């Protein structure tokens, strides 16, 4: 018995869909939780940053510098903007965090 080409594609797509559904909802979360248990020794819900854990050491000393700037802009004419005028913007900042 020979199946039509579109039927073969449909059966293949359905198989991929059900595999993705099974992997995404059941297998992947189970895999992640088991890896977290292996790293910390506790369950996922009980993971903590106590001083004895490796996770705390990684969290306390980040191997690269974390710094960023935040620019905030203030609209000085909101009523005119609602009527269709161009906004007048004042820059506040940058605020720099290390």
Tell me whether residue 84 is in a domain: no
Bridge partners (DSSP) listed for residue 68: 97
pLDDT greater than 70 at residue 82: yes
Other Cβ atoms less than 10 A from the Cβ of 81: the count is 13
Q: Is residue 17 part of a domain?
A: yes
Question: Is 67 a member of any domain?
Answer: no
pLDDT in tens, 9-66: 999 999 999 998 888 888 888 888 777 776 555 554 455 667 776 767 777 777 777 7
Cis peptide before 15 (omega within 30 of 0): no
Residue 65 lies in a domain: no
Domain presence at residue 36: yes
pLDDT over 80 at 79, yes or no: yes
- 33 or 86, which is more confident? 86
**Total number of domains in the chain:** 1
Sign of CA dihedral 54, 55, 59, 64: positive
Range of the domain at 12: 1-47
> Is residue 31 assigned to a domain?
yes
Question: 78 in a domain, yes or no?
Answer: no
77 falls within a domain: no
What's the pLDDT score for residue 44? 47
Asked if pLDDT for residue 3 goes beyond 80, the answer is: no
Which pLDDT value is given to residue 12? 92
DSSP helix/strand/coil, 30:
helix
pLDDT (0 to 100) of residue 65: 78
Distances (CA, A) of 72 to 14, 76, 78, 95: 49, 13, 16, 8
User: Who wins on pLDDT, 74 or 66?
Assistant: 74
């Amino acid at each position: 018995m020979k199946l039509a080409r579109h039927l073969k594609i449909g059966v293949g797509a359905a198989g991929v869909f059900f595999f993705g559904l099974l992997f995404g909802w059941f297998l992947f979360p189970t895999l992640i939780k088991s890896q977290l248990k292996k790293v910390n020794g506790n369950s996922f819900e009980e993971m903590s940053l106590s001083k004895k854990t490796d996770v705390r050491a990684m969290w306390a000393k980040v191997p690269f510098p974390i710094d960023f700037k935040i620019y905030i802009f203030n609209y000085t004419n909101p009523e005119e903007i609602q009527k269709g005028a161009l906004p007048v913007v004042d820059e506040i900042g940058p605020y720099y965090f290390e």
